[in-house]
Structure 1
């Protein structure tokens, strides 16, 4: 991990389809750190996608497990209504 990314914990928030996932993927290439997306925690994998929500405690636990395992990361997507538990970890929220 690059020195620049060692203390970066960034949350990119925006509405569905606003480009936060795309921006997050591009940013982690420059920062050399993991990218997490809130859709992966919020939605069960279904066909068609985005039709069944995961239970809130499951989402919160998995998100916190992933974020606290790494010193630096970029998280993209909305946490509205379920993700306040992660807010104290953010160093930058855009």
Structure 2
């Protein structure tokens, strides 16, 4: 049986949204970006914790979904309910480069974005790998081990393309 509840993990610039959209399109499963649950107005105005949690619970009740994001406080709920977890685990230099390219390409759309924000994201990526905080690489590994989920780890562009090819 094909997985109906898929959770995609990875830090900023790993391709979570890109992958979720492709799986959603090919498998006809609704896609939920957890950024849209956390933020009322993307990256400027947050939703209330109560509203965010209600939105998450609504998705978790559904028969099929693809969720993606790295909000530590929701990760366990999604991992626990998933048929499949896909972990986009690219090296630091790849993630940094992708975020630099994203910053440059979106500069016109987001004129208020500044270099400080880019540096904050790159610092977060480094902290993700080395940290032990909720939402860190280590905490995600612990949750995956705890729930013994079906897991696919994608570590490079070649594996990403191979995975997409298998969806056909």
TM-score (norm 2): 0.45
Secondary structure of 2:32's counterpart equals strand
Tell me which protein shows more helix as a share of its residues: 2
Match of 2:60 in 1: 67
Unaligned runs of 5+ in 1: none
Which has the higher Rg, Structure 1 or Structure 2? 2
Distance of 1:57 and 1:87 partners within structure 2: 21
**Cα RMSD between the aligned structures?**
1.9
Equivalent pairs, count: 85
Q: TM-score, normalised by structure 1?
A: 0.75
Tell me by how many angstroms 1:39 deviates. 0.5
**Distance across 2 between alignment mates of 1:42 and 1:79:** 9
Structure 2 residues without counterparts, runs of 5 or longer:
87-168
Distance in 1 between residues matched to 2:12 and 2:38, nearest whole Å: 12
Q: 1:18 aligns with which of 14, 18, 32?
A: 14
Measure, in 2, the Cα distance between the counterparts of 1:52 and 1:18: 24
Q: Is 83-92 or 14-23 further displaced after alignment?
A: 83-92
Q: How does 1:1-94 map to 2 (within 5 A)?
A: 4=2, 7-45=3-41, 49-68=42-61, 70-80=62-72, 82-83=73-74, 84-94=76-86
Aligned with 1:11: secondary structure?
strand
Structure scoring higher RCO (CA < 8 A, sep ≥ 6) equals 1
